[in-house]
Copies of this chain bind each other. A is one copy, B any other.
Amino acid sequence: MAKQTIRLLMPQWQGGNNPNYSFGAELLAWLAPDNDQPLIHVPVQAYDGVPLENEDGIYGRKQLLQQLEAAQHIINAHKPDRIVMFGGDCLVEQAPFAYLNERYGGELGLVWIDAHSDLVRIVGYDNGHTLPLGNLLGEGDEEFAMHVKVPLKPENVFIAGFDIPTEQDTEIIQRLGIQAAGTKELMNSTASIKDWIKQSNIKHLAIHLDLDVLDPKAFRSLLFANPEAPYDFSAAGTMPISGLLHLIKELSEEADVVGLGITEHMPWDAINLKSLLGEIPLLNI
* A residues whose Cβ falls under 8 Å from a Cβ of B: 5, 27-28, 30-33, 35, 37, 82, 84, 211, 217-221, 227-228, 241, 244-245, 248-249, 252, 257, 260, 262, 265, 267-270, 272-274, 276-285
Given contacts A218-B228, A227-B220, contact A31 B283 (CB under 8 A): no
Task: Kindly list the 6 A-B residue pairs having the minimum CB-CB distance in the complex, ordered from nearest.
Answer: A221-B269, A252-B281, A31-B274, A260-B282, A32-B277, A218-B227
- Residue from B211, B249, B276 in contact with A281 in the complex, judged by beta carbons closer than 8 Å: B249
Tell me which residues across on chain B come within 8 A of A269, comparing CB atoms.
219-221, 267, 269
Tell me which residues across on chain B come within 8 A of A270, comparing CB atoms.
27, 31, 221, 267, 270
Tell me which residues across on chain B come within 8 A of A285, comparing CB atoms.
5, 35
A283 to B84, CA, bound (A): 8
Q: Check if A280 sits within 8 Å of B248, measured CB to CB.
A: yes
- Residue from B82, B219, B267, B283 in contact with A282 in the complex, judged by beta carbons closer than 8 Å: B82
Q: Check if B280 sits within 8 Å of A245, measured CB to CB.
A: yes
| Chain B, residue nearest A3 (CB) | B285
Given contacts A219-B272, A241-B276, A276-B241, contact A281 B257 (CB under 8 A): yes
A227 to B279, CA, bound (A): 29
